[in-house]
Amino acid sequence: MDARKRRVLEALIDDYIATAEPVGSRTLARKYGLGVSPATIRNEMADLEELGYLEQPHTSAGRVPSDKGYRYYVDEIMRPMVLDVADRERIRHAYQVRVRELHWFIHQTARLVSELTQYPSLVVAPPMDDASLADLSFVPLGEDMVLMVLKTNTGMVENQTLAVPDEFDARKLQRLAQDFTREFRGVAIHELKSRILDPLQGDISRYRELWHLALKWVTGQDDGEDKVSLAGPLNILNYPEFRDVEKVRRVLGFLEKETVVELVSRTTTDGVKVVIGAESSLDDIQDCSLVTATYRVGGNVVGHLMVLGPRRMHYNRVMSIVEAVSEELTRVLHG
Amino acid sequence: MDARKRRVLEALIDDYIATAEPVGSRTLARKYGLGVSPATIRNEMADLEELGYLEQPHTSAGRVPSDKGYRYYVDEIMRPMVLDVADRERIRHAYQVRVRELHWFIHQTARLVSELTQYPSLVVAPPMDDASLADLSFVPLGEDMVLMVLKTNTGMVENQTLAVPDEFDARKLQRLAQDFTREFRGVAIHELKSRILDPLQGDISRYRELWHLALKWVTGQDDGEDKVSLAGPLNILNYPEFRDVEKVRRVLGFLEKETVVELVSRTTTDGVKVVIGAESSLDDIQDCSLVTATYRVGGNVVGHLMVLGPRRMHYNRVMSIVEAVSEELTRVLHG
DNA sequence: CATTAGCACTCTATTGAAGAGAGTGCTAAC
DNA sequence: GTTAGCACTCTCTTCAATAGAGTGCTAATG
């Protein structure tokens, strides 16, 4: 793989990303200053195909990058893009609001990223399970309603309105919360489950129903939807590879399934990751690429951030955006 | 419009709803026991076309209902569908959870309806504007965080976490909330805006920034998204009239725009309403029909519930579902 | 007199053939 | 090693022919 092959591969991928049409040798010679004739480029392209970096839809068409080609492009050729000032400003100002709820950040982030990239974007909240309980309290709301407020050691605050049985007056609830906090402070959320349901905890068991409720909520089984935010799904309709409704259904359907969360959460390492086409080994998104990044809340509790697009994605731009946003988000969530 | 014409129209619409293909006279004679020959049906169909109830895509195709045809079908022919037991049970059990937040109800309802109908469904929360303030309070969360809890006279409770400047300690916040509640109890939310921003309210103006924030939140300008919930948008891809991506984009785009809320909110009357095709005079949904209903929270504060589908929608089933759900929702929100 | 059978007519959708266009691979010349 | 030239391949578009579906009209029927 000499320097000229790299230049040809780069030019071809750039062109294909821009046009979505198979690229021929003449086009490359004309539009990119490679300094050689179409015939020479043809030879290089034949080599690149043999090496597995390019594919030919049919004999008389131009060539198209393969997964391996994109991979080489992303890893070895492409240079990171410097975001322009407007984009940076946009990212910096995105979180300058006084709201402090996690789901708001998630939602805002997904929207920001999908607007900047023009691809669908998905943001997954860090699993509560890894955090530990810092404080639980109830705020009576009159009638039989109560607001349950939970804080974790990572500084996250979640709350939810519940209806409680009549017998629980304000005083009782307060004692309940105190007991609970005293008993379980510092315990990881995912441990709470077994602890609470343990029948030996006699003192607690009187309120089991209430705890059960609280637990379901805390562990996120209850309103799992809030933990994931999808933005800009329709952006995908702008790309010609999705002119077929069947493909659209598969891809958008995939974004609504649990599988996404699993997939995204699998990449636990820091930094920006790229998954190209079949590398995901998921049928529904064979024709798509993913760019993912992580962000942190407080300690090591980690959330995920993802962009999905066609394989001919603007990798460098998307990667820069995703990186900048995840850094900003981590910064904001730390303060 | 004699009885036989009605029977022909009914059969034709039933068939078209089932198949999405233009219906010919032979088909009607064969599949529906009309007791007359295709020729007779042809004559009736010609009459129905002249009356504006049917249309012909081209001379040698069968016929298709017009907006007027559907309208007559919905108003005069169709009989309401009795939901089967499973569906009724499904509706009854949908809200048997202790959660009491409005956005949860909205979300749950949208999902329920879209799953039952297999069409996209949108639920709009009642505008807070019409309700009046019952109580505002702050719950300190430590650090510079505070939970703002608002109750209306209609019994709705909304809350949001905010970051506040350091100067506001627990005591100060409490007084602030008391002042605010005393001052503004009973005032309609939409009036709060002018009242609070009035520079003459000297005592209040010190906290203007905070109020401003609270206000933005209360009036829903801030997180407007929470007030609307869309479920099952991809259902639309199951219907052959949306095999074209351009149409999909227009319709799904429409569901994400503000226009929907305006449109839906326009129907203030109780009961189930149907809007067929061009009746909405909105370009994006010329090929769609809507079924809408309202639900109430407490007094007269009204929320909306909508189903969107192709014009050949299963009107009777959808209407029954929408009616049953809106009744159940009103019932649940009252208790 | 309403209903029906028969039939010519119209329009669409499908098929197959022809031709244009794009791009390649190979060979031979530079 | 590079390039020009050219035959070859494959797709896409166009066009005409054909089959199929359904209609509207007319004349016969009970």
pLDDT digits (tens, 9 = 90+) for B212-254: 666 666 655 444 455 899 999 999 999 999 999 999 999 999 9
Q: Is the pLDDT of residue A77 over 60?
A: yes
Q: Is the pLDDT of residue B202 over 90?
A: no
Q: What is the pLDDT of residue B39?
A: 95
Lowest mean pLDDT among A64-68, A189-193, A325-329: A189-193
CA nearest to A225 within chain B:
B107
Region A224-249 average pLDDT: 89
Q: What is the pLDDT of residue B212?
A: 66
Q: Is the pLDDT of residue A21 over 80?
A: yes
Contacts of residue B157, defined as CB under 8 A and 6 or more positions apart, other chains included, come to A141, A145, A147, A161, B100, B101, B102, B149, B150, B151
Tell which strand C nucleotides have any atom below 7 Å from a protein Cβ: 3-6, 9-12, 21-27
CB contact under 8 A, A155 and B143: yes
A18 in B contact zone (CB under 8 Å)? no
- Chain A residue numbers with beta carbons less than 8 Å from the beta carbon of B101 are 160-161
Q: What is the pLDDT of residue B234?
A: 97
Confidence of residue B166 (pLDDT cuts 50, 70, 90): confident
Q: Would you put residue B186 in left (φ > 0), alpha (ψ -120 to 50) or beta?
A: left
| Whole-number Å distance between alpha carbons of A265 and A256 | 15
Lowest mean pLDDT among A138-142, B40-44, B281-285, B314-318: A138-142
All domains of chain A, ordered by start, with CATH? 3-77 (1.10.10.10), 85-128+225-334 (3.30.450.40), 131-223 (3.30.390.60)
Q: What is the pLDDT of residue B19?
A: 96
Region A235-239 average pLDDT: 96
Q: Is the pLDDT of residue A80 over 70?
A: yes
Of A305, A327, A331, nearest in space to A123 by CA: A305
Closest alpha carbon to C1' of C23, residue: A60
Tell which strand D nucleotides have any atom below 7 Å from a protein Cβ: 2-5, 8-11, 20-26
Q: What is the pLDDT of residue B335?
A: 57
Confidence of residue B130 (pLDDT cuts 50, 70, 90): confident
* Buried/exposed B55-67: b ≥16 CB within 10 Å, e otherwise: beeeeeebbbbbb
* Phi and psi angles of residue B99, each rounded to the nearest 5 degrees, phi first: -65, 145
Contacts of residue A308, defined as CB under 8 A and 6 or more positions apart, other chains included, come to A119, A120, A121, A122, A236, A251, A255, A285, A288, A289, A290
Confidence of residue A211 (pLDDT cuts 50, 70, 90): low
Region A216-236 average pLDDT: 72
Lowest mean pLDDT among A240-249, A323-332, B50-59, B131-140: B131-140
Alpha-carbon distance A74 to nearest alpha carbon in chain B (angstroms): 30
A249 in B contact zone (CB under 8 Å)? yes
Region B135-152 average pLDDT: 81
Confidence of residue B171 (pLDDT cuts 50, 70, 90): confident
A245 in B contact zone (CB under 8 Å)? yes
Q: What is the pLDDT of residue A221?
A: 43
Q: What is the pLDDT of residue B241?
A: 94
pLDDT tens for B15-67 read 999 999 999 999 999 999 898 999 999 999 999 999 999 999 998 899 999 99
Cα angle: B223, vertex A131, A183; to 5 degrees: 110
The closest nt to A63, taking CA to C1', is: C23
Q: Which amino acid is at B272?
A: V
From the list B107, B157, B163, which residue is nearest A161 (CB)? B157
Q: What is the pLDDT of residue A214?
A: 65
With a pLDDT cut of 70, the percent of chain B lying above it is: 88
The length of chain A, given as a count of residues: 335
- The percent of chain A in helix, strand and coil, each rounded to the nearest 5, is 55, 20, 30
Region B118-132 average pLDDT: 87
CB contact under 8 A, B139 and A137: yes
The answer to whether the beta carbon of residue A3 comes closer than 7 angstroms to any atom of strand D is: no
The answer to whether the beta carbon of residue A82 comes closer than 7 angstroms to any atom of strand D is: no
Q: What is the pLDDT of residue A250?
A: 95
Confidence of residue B320 (pLDDT cuts 50, 70, 90): very high
Alpha-carbon distance A224 to nearest alpha carbon in chain B (angstroms): 11
- H-assigned helices in B94-200: 102-117, 170-184, 189-197
pLDDT tens for B97-113 read 766 678 889 999 999 99
Three-state DSSP class for B74? helix
CB contact under 8 A, A253 and B243: no
CA of B22 to C1' of C13 (A): 15
With a pLDDT cut of 90, the percent of chain B lying above it is: 56
- Chain A residue numbers with beta carbons less than 8 Å from the beta carbon of B107 are 225
Handedness of CA B77, B269, B282, A251 (dihedral sign): negative
Alpha-carbon distance A226 to nearest alpha carbon in chain B (angstroms): 10
CA of B314 to C1' of C8 (A): 39
Lowest mean pLDDT among A215-229, A246-260, B259-273: A215-229
Residue A332 vs residue B156, higher pLDDT: A332
Question: Which tokens hold the place of A146?
Answer: 């109560």
- Chain A residue numbers with beta carbons less than 8 Å from the beta carbon of B236 are none
CB contact under 8 A, B244 and A244: no
- The percent of chain B in helix, strand and coil, each rounded to the nearest 5, is 55, 20, 30
Mean pLDDT computed over every residue of chain B:
87
Q: What is the pLDDT of residue B42?
A: 96
Q: What is the pLDDT of residue A101?
A: 76
A166 in B contact zone (CB under 8 Å)? no
| Whole-number Å distance between alpha carbons of B186 and B132 | 5
Alpha-carbon distance B269 to nearest alpha carbon in chain A (angstroms): 30
A243 in B contact zone (CB under 8 Å)? yes
Q: What is the pLDDT of residue A223?
A: 47
Q: Is the pLDDT of residue A318 over 50?
A: yes
From the list A142, A162, A248, which residue is nearest B245 (CB)? A248
Helix axes A315-334, A85-93, angle to 10 degrees: 30
| Whole-number Å distance between alpha carbons of B252 and B242 | 11
Question: Which tokens hold the place of B136?
Answer: 């505002």
Three-state DSSP class for A178? helix
Q: What is the pLDDT of residue A216?
A: 63
Give, rounded to a whole angstrom, the gap between the first and last alpha carbons of chain A.
48
Region A39-54 average pLDDT: 96
Q: B98, B99, B247: best mutation site toward chain A, by most A Cβ within 10 Å?
A: B98
